[in-house]
Amino acid sequence: MTTLNEQVMAEVRADLASFADTHSRLDLEANGAAWTRQGTSYEAAFLQSAGTGYPDVQLNGAKKTWPAFLASDEMANLKALAESIYFSCSDDNDKYIEPRAKTEDSDEGGNQARKVIADLLSDLPHGATRVVFLRGAAGAGKTVALRQMAHRQAEAYVNHKANFLYLYIDAQARYLARLDDAVALVLQDLNARFTYRALATLTKHRLVVPIIDGFDELLGAGGGGEAVDALTQFLARLGGRGATIASARSTYFDFGQIRTSADRFRGSEASFAIVPVELQPWTKCEMCAYLEKGNQFQRLGAASPSDALEDLERTFSGNGTAKLFSTPFFLAAAVEVASEPTGPDETARPIRRIIDSFVRREVGKFLNAKDQPILTEENHWRFLRMVAEEMWWQERRELDKASVDTIAELFADEVGMTGTDLRAFISRASSYAFLATQSGSSNANGPRMLAFSHEYYYAFFVARFLAEELAKDRDVAGLLGRTQVSPTVAAEFAEHVDEEGMAYLASVLDALADRHVPVPTRETNRGNAGALYAALLCRHERIPDLRLIDASFTGSDFRSTVQQNVHVEKCDFVDTDFRGANWSFKTARKTTFGGLIVDVSTTKLSGLRLEIGTDLYGLTHRAGRTEYDPVRMAAICEELGMAVPPPDGPAQPQYSEQAEETIELLHKLLQVSERMYYLSDGILKQRGISTNPSWWHLENLLRTHGLLEDKKTQKSGPEGQLRRLAYPPRIIAEGEGRTTNPALREFWQAIRGL
């Protein structure tokens, strides 16, 4: 017998309801509960626990703690789930090399990715759900590493050496606006005995850690709307407990999106603490370890792995070859290509050589009854481009088999294929080496889904399609308003344009500048145009008559680029990196610049005449600090070569030494708050904020002007009181300049008065 307070009773009810049959009756009393699950009725007694708050449970003669009860065969049946995960994530075991990773603030070279993540999960923050944000370029091995983590953890769970599971959720190739769509599909494929509703329950009790692979594609780097809200609502169900892992290729992600969404659902307590983790490139040691797996170096005719690596580097010589081999995908593909009797075309760049080699294989596989090739190499290329084009227009990275067969029929008609050749091609079109059944996207009752077997293959073909459409100067109004252009697609787009020459580049740039931007898809269209523009500008200096029209450059990297006489119109430059850049502008109409990252000693942006607070919002310099004060910004602009009219209104007083110290501490607080919705005493101390002599002044100012709020809880917890900023960090920082918010205006005036 036990006594439960109202808060625990409410949580117990919510936990049981997430497992109970929909619309079934749930009876809950202080001493027990009765519910129906999958048509079976259960009754359990509650017993006094050892101080965890939740009761122990007596069910079918066995006594269990609350987490053990939720994991039991009668509820989630996590042992059966572990067995399913073990087999579903068992691929790539024989040649797997554990990658290194490190947290953003680590000065070390990195540790095993699995250990780095495990350490973060073993030390969860008080009152916040830990979100581990694993970042790495396409081909860096994120997917394989995450699937291996899930596989090994499932094995440990089955052998009673672990008390939680990783649930791998593949969101890379899907156009899903909702997180629950992806989760529901995975749970169905794993024959899980619980639904999406119960996943939050298992996560908050640290029984399951969801892994969302392809986080940036699910949410969208330009502002995810419904998808961001779906994630926020999932975090809200966790009540500031548990952990989740997300992966992304994008180096830039605006974490403020999640904060803004959480503010809209303030009553739901979507508390989170984001920790970025960077997957590190392979070193020579790891490359050689990979070549030693299965004696792959011997396939290449080398005496040792190091000799094989040197041979590969010579075979694929060119700019960036060493960097490419530091990614598992390219090294594995290079081994395959170099093992071929004909060898790669040494005049092409590495990814082209790899695809050329694989296409030649397909020529030899697609044979008719006379053992003659059904298609030429050129026609194989055309078909794969058509598949990528259809994926682009459908706004998804996977197609069902019927769609691929339809594309094959259309293609066969184009090339005049008939008779037995036609039947042979269509029957095998969906078994292309470049296409693979999408993990977690098929089930016994659903269609077989096919996707390009790697992001690079999709990027290669869809980038060629986009470039060719733009170069033909067709009506491309709807072309860029589909799905988001990934960094890999943008890079391949620029590579292809570069291969075609300067006239081709000029045609593509003209098409981008002259395109019509439909209102319904304006945001996506402008973001994609910005991504393609940026990729091209980073490869070509001093482009004649450069026009940048109606594009959004959010997080673009223009470091060390040189452009002259640039005309920009209806563009937005947000958090754009211009360090080391030298640009001269001819005109800049209806264009805004916000949070530009500059270095006064290396950045030159001449020809710009901007009004602070209207065209220019914030300049980031000095170790990441963003200036919004008009006087300071004007001084920086002058050093950058920009013309800035003097600010209107009376001159603001200069900051005192105490004010400067307070502002420095404020920016440190804002940086931490970007990734943590609630801040505990422990976090403030750990980050050196509350131990700073200026903290007393800053905290007093924040509270006086209503910018810092305490979270109302029954007890403060092991790390002390929780508090949150009443406004998003960026809004508070921007208040240093011009703001219509009285609280923010008075707060900054008070700082000036210190």
Q: What is the mean pLDDT of residues 575-595?
A: 94
Q: What is the mean pLDDT of residues 561-580?
A: 95
Question: What are the two backbone dihedrals, phi and then psi, of residue 4, each rounded to the nearest 5 degrees?
Answer: -110, 135
pLDDT-based confidence at residue 464 (cuts at 50, 70, 90): very high
pLDDT tens-place string over residues 611-666: 888 899 889 886 677 888 888 888 899 999 998 887 666 666 778 899 989 999 99
* Residue 737: count of CB within 10 angstroms of its CB: 19
The predicted structure's pLDDT at residue 716: 43
Percent over 70 (pLDDT), the chain? 88
How distant, in Å, are the alpha carbons of 49, 149, 249, 458 from that of 145?
A: 38, 6, 14, 21
Residue 27's SS3 state is strand
| Higher-confidence position of 256 and 42 | 42
pLDDT tens-place string over residues 381-393: 999 999 999 999 9
pTM of the full predicted structure?
0.80
| 442: Cβ contacts below 8 Å, ≥ 6 apart | 189, 448, 449
Report the mean per-residue pLDDT for the chain.
Answer: 85
Q: What is the mean pLDDT of residues 667-674?
A: 90
How distant, in Å, are the alpha carbons of 166, 461, 468, 500 from that of 496?
A: 39, 10, 9, 7
| Higher-confidence position of 562 and 236 | 562
Q: What is the mean pLDDT of residues 518-533?
A: 92
Cα-to-chain-centroid distance, residue 272? 16
Query: Which of 3.40.640.10, 3.30.1390.10, 3.40.250.10, 3.40.50.300 is the CATH number of 78-279?
Result: 3.40.50.300
CATH of domain 657-752: 1.10.10
The predicted structure's pLDDT at residue 638: 92
pLDDT tens-place string over residues 476-511: 778 898 888 988 899 999 999 999 999 999 999 999
- Residue pair 397/175 in contact (Cβ under 8 Å)? The answer is yes
pLDDT at 564 over 80: yes
The predicted structure's pLDDT at residue 482: 84
pLDDT at 63 over 70: yes
The predicted structure's pLDDT at residue 223: 43
pLDDT tens-place string over residues 298-330: 988 899 999 999 888 887 765 555 666 788 888
- Rounded distance, CA 55 to CA 68, Å? 11
The predicted structure's pLDDT at residue 313: 83
Phi-psi region of 202 (alpha: psi -120 to 50; beta: other; left: phi over 0): alpha
- Residue pair 20/198 in contact (Cβ under 8 Å)? The answer is no
The predicted structure's pLDDT at residue 443: 45
The predicted structure's pLDDT at residue 436: 77
pLDDT tens-place string over residues 333-348: 888 888 776 655 555 6
The kind and range of the H/E element at 526 are helix 522-537
122-131, 547-556, 562-571: which has the minimum mean pLDDT? 122-131
Residue 677's SS3 state is coil
Picking from 624, 630, 627, the residue whose alpha carbon sits closest to that of residue 610 is: 630
What is the CA angle 99-102-104, rounded to 5? 145
| Helices 196-204 and 179-189: angle between axes, nearest 10 degrees | 90
pLDDT tens-place string over residues 182-216: 788 899 989 999 988 899 999 999 999 999 887 76
pLDDT-based confidence at residue 260 (cuts at 50, 70, 90): confident
pLDDT at 442 over 70: no
Picking from 95, 557, 491, the residue whose alpha carbon sits closest to that of residue 282 is: 95
Picking from 603, 598, 565, the residue whose alpha carbon sits closest to that of residue 584 is: 565
The residues spanned by each domain of the chain are 6-71, 78-279, 281-339, 541-640, 657-752
pLDDT at 87 over 50: yes
pLDDT-based confidence at residue 358 (cuts at 50, 70, 90): confident
pLDDT tens-place string over residues 401-419: 888 889 988 998 888 888 8
pLDDT at 258 over 80: no
Using the structure block, give the residue that is written with the tokens 């089955």: 158
Strands 562-569 and 552-554: unpaired
pLDDT at 530 over 50: yes
pLDDT tens-place string over residues 173-186: 554 446 777 788 89
pLDDT-based confidence at residue 422 (cuts at 50, 70, 90): confident
- Rounded distance, CA 479 to CA 459, Å? 16
pLDDT-based confidence at residue 3 (cuts at 50, 70, 90): low
pLDDT at 233 over 70: yes
Q: What is the mean pLDDT of residues 453-482?
A: 86
pLDDT at 221 over 70: no
